[in-house]
Structure 1
Amino acid sequence: MNPTPVLELINISKSYSDRVVLSDLSYRLAAGEYVAIMGDSGVGKSTLLNLIAGLDSPDQGEIRIDGKNLPVEDEAATILRRQYLGFIFQAFHVLPHLTLLQNVSLPLLLNHQPLERASAMLTAVGLQGREQDFPHQLSGGELQRVAVARALVHRPRLILADEPTGNLDQETAKDILQLIRTEIKANGASAIIVTHSQTAAETADTILTMDRHGLTPTRLQN
């Protein structure tokens, strides 16, 4: 018997006004699988991540995480995101009134986990010594690294990343991508990254091309 996938998309459709973004899309993400999604701008990649995270709802279809339907109630969806998901937003969504350490500690606090790992994750993304700084003191690339640390700190079951290296220089991007892959494999997590970067995509096990026909595997990592 096949194990229950971490994520299952079943005939997902989504439209905005008269524009169809996703149509009858289905996909299964296995435990421990790390995939990258590439495709033209506007094809629906970020929309798909938002649907998986419960930040938006499909017009049709079902989304299941660990075999359970994604809750439609706001409170239930929030609890699921808190416990199961780590989301690296393209726009960071770092809380401006909290220090960097407090931002990264937040998932641990909400999940009643020890807070010590927050400082270690800031060190892992190259921001050691900046724990008491506030977001307004950081560059865009540094904010991106805070977002990565916060998404990984509580060892989530499913990691979603929207252009996780979009604001990083080449060398830093390489380090961050290695960190993401290391954390995924060490914690037995599954992950989906959306990216326009071929370099970023090649850190995944599988590269999927997204178009109006759905998701098509284009490369498997040995």
Structure 2
Amino acid sequence: MLEICDLYRQFNGRPVLQGISMRLKPGEYVAITGESGVGKSTLLNVIAGLDRPDRGRLVLDGEDYAALDEDALTRLRRDKLGFVFQAFHILPHLTLRQNVALPLWLKGQGGRRADRQAEHLLDAVGLGDRAESWPRELSGGEMQRVAIARALAHKPRLILADEPTGNLDPTNAARVLRLLGERIRSAGAMGILVTHSPEAARSADRVLQLTPEGLHE
């Protein structure tokens, strides 16, 4: 279970997140919507452990990771979290297969098993025939699909996706949203999708709106 309790974050004295609280059960997938600039990406970065809250608790499977030191937080991100962010962060010196297999390597799983898992996920996002391609050969939409495959590779407990369909055509957007939902629910994981798209939001189990006053059903 993920519990977010009374979360606050400010920048240069300006409040961005105020009193954010929510709870996710295993197998649950939620979408967070809101106007541009309201703090959706900030909230996702805080939940991901990439930014520290000024106040509040982040509890994943009973562990308050807002209080962890950097080494422990790095291990938690490696083992339990999967990220799909707008900047992709695809490594240019690795093939697509290697990029997707990277989270498995970091957990000590290598060899043919990791390769097969990466190839299966590339096939699921429609890039099965591009496993040996290099990132420089891809469009923005194709890199987004690689980022989604990589986020799912190590079967994380919590999947965080920031506008994952922003660079995709409707057909591929529907494909990856279906994949995200299926993986989250079948694995008993949890998922948070930040999006401006009403169509993407409808793929989730419930939709929350972030406003300057907080997070609301």
Aligned to 2:121: 121
2:167 is matched by which residue type in structure 1?
Answer: N
Determine the structure 1 residue equivalent to 2:133: 133
Counterpart position of 1:13: 8
Q: Is residue 45 of structure 2 the alignment partner of residue 50 of structure 1? A: yes
For residues 186 and 2 of structure 2, what CA distance do their matches in structure 1 show?
Answer: 19
TM-score, normalized by length of structure 1? Answer: 0.93
Matches within 5 A, 1:178-193: 178-193=178-193
C-alpha distance in 1 between matches for 2:24 and 2:184: 14
Post-superposition offset of 1:31: 1.4
CA deviation digits over 1:72-130, x for unaligned, max 9?
Answer: 42221111011111110111011111111110001111123340211100111111121
Tell me which residue corresponds to 1:80.
76
1:69 aligns with 2:71: no
State the AA in 2 paired with 1:136.
R
The 2-side partners of 1:201 and 1:73 are apart by 34
Query: For the residues of structure 2 that align with 1:157 and 1:119, how far apart are their CA atoms?
Result: 21
| Structure with higher helix content | 2
Counterpart residue type for residue 161 of structure 2: A
Amino acid paired to 1:29: L
TM-score by length of 2: 0.95
Q: Does 1:28 align with 2:29?
A: no
Query: Residue by residue, what CA displacement relative to the aligned partner does 1:39-88 show, whole Å, maximum 9, x if unpaired?
Result: 00111111111111110000111111111111542221111011111110
Question: What per-residue deviation string (whole Å, max 9, x for no partner) do you get for residues 164-200 of structure 1?
Answer: 1000011110111111111111211110000000000
Q: Is the 8 A contact 2:30 2:191 kept in 1?
A: yes
Match in the other structure for 2:196: 196
Is 1:60 the counterpart of 2:55 in the alignment?
yes
Q: How many residues align?
A: 212
Instruction: With a CA cutoff of 8 Å and minimum separation of 6, indicate the structure with the bigger relative contact order.
Output: 2
- SS of residue paired to 2:168: coil
Does the 8 A contact of 2:184 with 2:191 survive in 1?
A: yes
Segments of 4+ moved more than 4 angstroms: none
Aligned to 1:3: none
1: CA distance, partners of 2:6 / 2:185: 29
Given that 1:57 and 1:72 are in contact with CA atoms closer than 8 Å, whether structure 2 keeps it comes out as: no
Structure 1: unaligned runs, 5 residues or longer: 1-5, 218-222
CA distance in 2, matches of 1:205, 1:21: 26
Q: Output the CA distance in 2 between the equivalents of 1:163 and 1:55.
A: 17
User: Residue 129 of structure 1 aligns to a residue in which SS?
Assistant: helix
Q: Which residue of 1 aligns with 2:34?
A: 39
1:163 aligns with 2:163: yes
Are the counterparts in 1 of residues 27 and 186 from structure 2 also a CA contact under 8 Å? Answer: no
